[in-house]
Amino acid sequence: MAAAGILSLSASAVAYASPVADPLFEYGVSIHDARVLPSPRGGRMGAGYMTVAAPRGDAIIGVEAAFGIELHESLEDDAGVVRMTRRDRIEIPAGTEVVFEPGGLHVMLIGVDPPMKVGDEVSITLTFEKAGEVEILFPVEDRAGPDGHSDHGG
């Protein structure tokens, strides 16, 4: 990806999604701060994070990519063990922002080949119940969050 190096320098500017579907605007869905954190083990797995807002309310009902991908949520059980649970639907209530972040909601990338490296971009298509399919380019960045803390615990 020739442009990746340039785009990765301005993460906040890139973070706004590259919509391929006009309904994105019709329904006012916005996605920002999108980024993928590659796995330290060769980068074939990774976790995608973003902040999603839908002023009129919507729900993410699907996710697709050229590799294995699932919507996950990390939840801590009664014993304090954090486990990832697959989610088939993530509600984006009107007037709120839903934050995908380490330790919580994330987009799980599985079996990415070739392995991702910082500076790459990965194309991920989210399907919204109302806004429809939205393709987003997630820059691969070596940061877990805006504050740079934590990592993607299994």
Query: Interface with Cu ion by CB under 5 A: which residues?
Result: 72, 84, 108
d(CA 30, CA 39): 26
For 131, the token pair is: 């806004």
For 123, the token pair is: 């194309």
In the bound state with Cu ion, the residue whose beta carbon lies nearer, of 7 and 61, is 61
Closest approach, Cβ 106 to Cu ion, in A, equals 5
Closest approach, Cβ 48 to Cu ion, in A, equals 10
Rg (CA), the chain: 15
d(CA 51, CA 134): 14
Element (H, E) at 4: helix 4-7
d(CA 112, CA 51): 23
In the bound state with Cu ion, the residue whose beta carbon lies nearer, of 12 and 85, is 85
d(CA 76, CA 30): 28
For 25, the token pair is: 């605007």
In the bound state with Cu ion, the residue whose beta carbon lies nearer, of 4 and 84, is 84
For 21, the token pair is: 């579907």
In the bound state with Cu ion, the residue whose beta carbon lies nearer, of 14 and 140, is 140
In the bound state with Cu ion, the residue whose beta carbon lies nearer, of 19 and 48, is 48
